[in-house]
Structure 1
Amino acid sequence: EAMRSLLKLAVVLFCVQRGEDQKPQTSPNEDRSSQTEASGVEPAPHPIVPIPARSRRSTSDTQCGLRSILLQVQDLGLGYDSDESILFKYCSGTCPRVLSNHDLTLTNLLHSGVLPHPAPGELWHNAPCCRPTHHEDMAFLDNSHRWHRVEKLSAAGCSCVG
């Protein structure tokens, strides 16, 4: 009885984590165990309990993609006196690191001393980063009732670059 309750709890938690608000249906193991109680045959000692997969949100939040935040124009730091709010879009997230022949050759040349190591404060970027692939203009009204248009202010698409 305790094992069946534990199985029901695991199924409910799995469905809640996946965002399903449906009532879990009885599993084949559960039907078998109620039938075997009557026959006197013991059910399997370890029922199969589903292991919850990582939620889509946690995966997509860490991968490179377009994010947005609602903020006031004056918070952009561009010098506009405006209390108007805009939806500012930006790129954020991680990019998979795939070594190219260029990366391998550069590493070998650095280790062998053929290329000088970068000076302090000078960095070589050899890892891909999440960057905008194209931008969109934004228009807004300032506090003096004048329209302003800022070109390429907000990201419109993102990709791993590098």
Structure 2
Amino acid sequence: MCQTNLKKVIATLVDRKERRIRTETGRRTKRARKGPKLCSLHEIELTVSELGLGYESDETVSFRYCSGKCIHERHNYDFKARRGRDNGKKDKARNAPCCRPTKFEKKMSFFDNKDRFYTIQNVSARACGCV
């Protein structure tokens, strides 16, 4: 499966799960509204089918993903590189780091609904960073 499709599926699943949790907990507290959280590892429980990788299984797995804000610290190199790259060009997209996995769990194993055993690799994050 293409990495772009996998990212879309994961984002959709995370969004669904977070919406479900928000409706269950009601209004957000003042503490929760304080501001964006920095890049960190999060964990949710999903069925293998909800992962969207094409496996039909009701088995529940612990899925870890990265989410949060990356604070971009600029260095002299960044300023020089931008000046040379832009060189009078406007409307250029700015490159900033994004929160993503830096390490993955090696394997995730499960049984599908027909009792076939599967092991898939590099699905769940183990560590996050701003890349």
Give me the TM-score of the superposition, normalised by structure 2.
Answer: 0.65
Give the corresponding residue for 1:146: 116
Report the number of matched residues.
Answer: 101
Give the Cα separation in 1 of the matches to 2:79 and 2:46. 43
Q: CA RMSD in A?
A: 2.7
User: What fraction of aligned residue pairs are identical, expressed as a percent?
Assistant: 41
Counterpart contact for 2:36–2:69, Cα < 8 Å: no
Provide runs of 4+ in structure 1 moved above 3 Å: 57-61, 115-118
Larger radius of gyration: 1
1:73 lines up with 2:42 in the alignment: no
* CA-CA distance at 1:112 after TM superposition: 2.8
* CA-CA distance at 1:69 after TM superposition: 1.4
* CA-CA distance at 1:61 after TM superposition: 6.7
Give the corresponding residue for 2:37: 62
* Residue 117 to residue 59, structure 1, CA distance change in 2 (3 Å): closer
* Residue 71 to residue 105, structure 1, CA distance change in 2 (3 Å): same
Other structure's SS at 1:153 match = coil
Counterpart contact for 1:110–1:116, Cα < 8 Å: no
Equivalent residue letter for 1:131: R
1:135 lines up with 2:110 in the alignment: no
Give the corresponding residue for 2:27: none
Give the Cα separation in 2 of the matches to 1:72 and 1:81. 9
Q: Residue by residue, what CA displacement relative to the aligned partner does 1:102-143 show, whole Å, maximum 9, x if unpaired?
A: 321132124434x7976xxxx5x6211111111012111111
Give the corresponding residue for 2:95: 126
Other structure's SS at 1:87 match = strand
Give the corresponding residue for 2:77: 102
The one of the two structures with greater contact order (alpha-carbon pairs below 8 A, sep at least 6) is 2
Other structure's SS at 1:107 match = helix
Equivalent residue letter for 2:101: P
Structure 1 stretches lacking a partner, 5+ long: 1-53
* CA-CA distance at 1:91 after TM superposition: 0.4
1:160 lines up with 2:130 in the alignment: yes
